[in-house]
Amino acid sequence: MSSNDRHLAIIGIGLRLPGANNKQEFYNLLHSKRSGISRVPADRWNAETYTGPGKEPAKIVTDLAGFLDEYREFDALDFGVSPNEARELDVHQYMLLQTTLQAFEDAGVKYRGTKTGVFVAGSFEGRSIQSDEYDLSHYTSTGTALSMQPNRVSFIFDLRGPSIFVDTACSGGLSAMHTARNAIFAGDCDQAVVAGISIMLTPQASQGFSKLGTLSPTGCCHAFDAAADGYVRGEGCVVVILKRLDAAMKEGDHVYAVLTGSAVNANGRGLSLTMPDAKMQMDATLQAYKDAGRDPTDAFFVECHGTGTPVGDPIEVNTLGQVFSQNRPKEDILSIGSVKTNVGHLETASGLVGLIKAALILDSGVILPGIHFSTPNPQIHWSDFRIRVQTDPEPIPKWKTTQDGMYVASVSSFGFGGANAHAVLERMPHGGDRFPIMDIDDKDSILIAVGALSARSVGRVVENVCEFLEEATDPRERVVISRVFGDRARGHPFLSYAVIPASGTSQLEQAFSKPAAPLFTSDPFIAFVFSGQGPQYPQMGRRFLYRFKAFRDSVLASDGVLQSIGFGSFIKKYGMFDSYECTLPTGPDASWPVEAVVLSIVIFQIALYDLWKSLNVAASVVLGHSVGEIAAMYASGAINRHKAVHLAVARAKALKMVENSQGGMAALGCDEVQANEMIEKILSGDRDGGGVRGLWISAVNSVKAVSVSGNEDLIVKLVQQAESQGIFARQLRVGGAYHSPLVDICSAAFQKAVLPVLNSSRNVPTTRFISTVHGRLHPKNQPLDTAYCWDNIRKPVLFANAIKALFEEHKEEGNASSLCVIEMAPHPVLQGYIGEIAASVNVQPAVVAACARRPNPKTGQGVNDPVEDTQFLDTVGKLLVAGVRNINLRVLTGLAGYDVPMGHDMLLKKPVSYPFQKTVSKPKNAYTLKVTQNTHPLKIVEHKECPISTYRRTRPPPKPLCAPLFRMSPQTHPWVTGHTISKAVIFPGTGYIEAALEHGARTLRNVRIQRALMLSEHDPPKYVGFRETGINNEWEFCSSSKNVVNDSGVVLDTVHATGQFVMESVHTPQTALEHLGQDFMTDFDLVMDGQRFYSIIAGTGAEYSGVFAMITEIRGSSTREKDFIAFVEVSDELWNTHAKGMVLHPAILDCACQTGWGMSVRFLFPRPKYLGFATDNSTCL
């Protein structure tokens, strides 16, 4: 791979697709060659009403598509959306929220308050234009506007990069990705949410595509197959998180695939607006590979647009063949596929669905197949271009890696308006075992952090993680659980944590802290406070060295510096940190050589800082107490490790000169004023004038805690004096009277040793450094030189003033963040002081915590127990809860450098999902809706929608000819075209009778045609209607001549037929057959076949065809002048389609009426010019 500067990593995936609710289910769907296509749910639209031949207006050629199981579930409370606003939200908005959350949890990145862009390829919510204008609210506009699809994601998750809606139709997903990529390169955002969403709530779009002729009548996408007849629609939401590759690798993110190139263009003035253009598709593909720095022959797989249309597939694949076959070896066959065969065509989201499929192929190392392919499309030049359709799962051939060891694949996506897009992905193959090798013991501590959008949901996450922990039989499983749930928690406002052993199941839930959210939205203000000498003990750092690589590497590096300057190995000399037996004395009265004290503290604190740094935790301010300032200088960036170790050695050597020099120190439980009063009193009685004598305040640790240095005999007197006054006093175990004039004898030696090393370059802090020498913030751009380092030894430690300065620094930032004070020591010694000082100035830090703690023998803790690391992990948990969300918890698990195909959650026994307390957004006044119970009870939240539109979508099919208002034309009722009179399509009179029968009539009287209803094949369908007039059971069938509309709706101003009806059948004394007698057929001796019959009557202008020409034979009688018999053969087409929902199809009744033409077919009777229609009395038996 070339430079990573223009390479982006796909680090998070969220999805809701037909048949798959997460990446694992989607992978399994593809791998097992299953389909997510199903029949349209009843709450979208009624399939019986809307399904029909493609030429019929308002009909859809298929009732099959890729539908989600449930699209209305939304946890409004968790997302902070009120019930009233939730009712107004477009489905696209809340599905984007939930799927984006899934992607963020999968990525495990910090996102709140960051420069994260949102780029959404969305679709239009059909219900918004059907809203009741009298039920609009101040949430309606924001709930339905297209711009709000990305904007609401930005708002809810506090994302501060660009927020852009993209619509290039079917290529929208890849166009959004291309836009996001450029925004990251331009510095507009650091990472991006790229989403595609398409939801089929109403039938209008399907009706349009059906009319366009792009939908498959079979409801199946036969991409690349000879049977290709169009695509099947699909719905869903897909989200990917993009981030710079170098940043992703640095932070240990899982990388599904690397986006190395992309390109977009348009067809321009092509053959037609919707016709694919081979040249422009080729240009987009070539430009994407040029952008990626790859040759198309590097690719082993292309995820095609692949809609399964007879026109589109050959153009696309033959174009790909021209691009990818150039210079491709003969044995190298390019595999192609189309995910539309599995989940349907998601239109605006389709490109991202293909991108995710390609990413999963690269990450898993398995080429995933499509389905519905059996006979190759003969219009595609398969052998010429060495292309094949992937029909079974297959490992990526190892020989298909590029010279730099990468697998390469790409994705095409084309909008039906001519917007083309192509993207190139690559990834290095995975290697090694599926499960990592980890050196972890059953008693080792593990930090489990969990998070959610609300405190109530944190409780459910805790229940969930405890189930995982209880089922884990291997300590390594708990480490993976820690990694997975810790990643998912990083972006959430509410967190809880627990530090638990690597095995055991007792009281797991009780171990978790109370869920809490940070008080501030900005990052916490973190202070690292490095202790002085005193907390050291022989086994310190040993657990850290065993558990944490960063700590171990730092200790070894510092020990290496010591060896390089001739000191030798500190670890081996004293047996500290590692598994060596410590040679230093133990116990409360043990006294260590000064070099052991200084070097152990400095090495430990530098390693502790490096450990925090590896966790991506940076201090806002650092300060150190006495010798702790060496590590603080290192943490501030003023000095490097080499200088810090040199400084520690020089300090140790210098102070060795005053070791055992009759100097001492004492700790007093009083303030500085009281201490000075006691010092003055003792010195006033001291008559020994030899040498340097005195008592000096050496440290002001708190408002009621000071240290005093001086001659040992005077120190003894001071302790006695304080005790006599009821003041706490204790003589300290130190080797000399530090921070006093008694150390002046080593000044020259110290500065001589330090000067050449320290002053070799300017030692200017890059992180704010608060000096305990001066008790204030160190001036900006001023170096920490040799003179300062000597003052650190010689002058008193103004720790209390320094802590107050720390509080002032936090205050100057407006107190807009939580204050977290972390004591960097082997054991806490400064926490109490910090708490006292904070109370004295009315400051309440969010966290004051120690990084480590020594084992307490009184509680049964041994030197090998995980006390030290447990304390550290607990402090990490406290910081997380306080709002430090950039902590890289992966380092703590030891899995930072270990990658797993499709992410570490794939190592778990079951998928992890967010525990939404799901509610269902229910359309207001919906016709029929049933809610299925979930794990948690579902609460119905009504979604506002015009009840009229809901009814129309979901109602049962209306009666074909009997409705107060419906549309009619040769397209909506194609059977009428067979009833043509004088070249005009005329609605048959028998149709009016059928309308009345559908209304429930059983007897009709006085049926009269008032005006012919002419239907044009070229004009829009007419508005017509059947209605009762309210007088004597009269009815009329009307139409609207000019489509006039008033407040009541469409005005039906033209009456075509009238009549009366009775809801019961009327008994007739004798049927026609009974009137004819038993042997009537012998009387009908005049015979004519149907073909001749219809050709003769066509001369009158009555051109019958289709279902209106079903008479196969007509007979007259030479003896019965008024009687005729017709034989009718009813077509299957009539029974299967046209007669659906009818009582008696008008064509059947019309054929009966056509026998009246018998007098005109050369049966020796006069020929009328036309056949009239009227009935005085007819009944349905």
Mind telling me the catalytic residues?
A: 979, 1150
CA distances from 934 to 67, 77, 918 (A): 19, 17, 8
Listed residue (770, 540, 760) closest to 636, CA to CA = 770
Please report which residue ranges of 813-915 form alpha helices under DSSP H.
Answer: 831-840, 867-882, 890-893
Which value, in Å, is the radius of gyration of the alpha carbons in the chain?
43
134 in Cβ contact with 180 (< 8 Å)? no
The residue to which tokens 């992978």 are assigned:
27
Q: What angle do CA 1144, 1146, 1151 make, to 5 degrees?
A: 105
920 in Cβ contact with 72 (< 8 Å)? yes
824 in Cβ contact with 631 (< 8 Å)? yes
Q: What is the dihedral of CA 587, 590, 593, 599, to 10 degrees?
A: 30
The residue to which tokens 């420069």 are assigned:
115
Q: What angle do CA 608, 613, 850 make, to 5 degrees?
A: 40
296 in Cβ contact with 289 (< 8 Å)? yes
Do strands 1102-1104 and 979-981 pair parallel, antiparallel, or not at all (unpaired)?
antiparallel
Q: Name the residue type at position 489.
A: A
Reading the block at residue 427, the tokens are: 């990834």
Give backbone dihedrals phi and psi of 1074, rounded to 5 degrees, phi first.
-65, -35
409 in Cβ contact with 362 (< 8 Å)? yes
* Cβ neighbourhood burial of 860 (10 Å; 0-12, 13-18, 19+): exposed
Partnered with residue 197 across adjacent β-strands are 237
Give backbone dihedrals phi and psi of 643, rounded to 5 degrees, phi first.
-70, -40
User: Rounded distance, CA 243 to CA 245, Å?
Assistant: 6
The residue to which tokens 């099919």 are assigned:
957
Question: What distance, in Å, lies between the first and last C-alpha atoms of the chain?
Answer: 84
Strand, coil or helix: 1022: strand
User: Rounded distance, CA 672 to CA 797, Å?
Assistant: 12
Distance of CA 1148 to the CA centre of its chain: 59
Q: At what angle do helices 672-684 and 712-724 cross, to 10 degrees?
A: 120
What 1163-1166 contacts at long range (C-beta under 8 Å, 24+ apart), as own/partner pairs, is 1163/1086, 1163/1116, 1165/1121
Strand, coil or helix: 294: coil
User: Rounded distance, CA 448 to CA 436, Å?
Assistant: 19
289 in Cβ contact with 410 (< 8 Å)? yes
* Cβ neighbourhood burial of 1070 (10 Å; 0-12, 13-18, 19+): exposed
Partnered with residue 1178 across adjacent β-strands are 1004
* Cβ neighbourhood burial of 92 (10 Å; 0-12, 13-18, 19+): buried
User: Rounded distance, CA 887 to CA 521, Å?
Assistant: 16
Is the torsion defined by CA of 1018, 1023, 1029, 1035 positive or negative? positive
DSSP per-residue letters across 907-956: GSSS--------EEEEETT-S-------SSPPEEEEEP--HHHHHHHHSP
Q: What is the dihedral of CA 1157, 1158, 1162, 1166, to 10 degrees?
A: -60
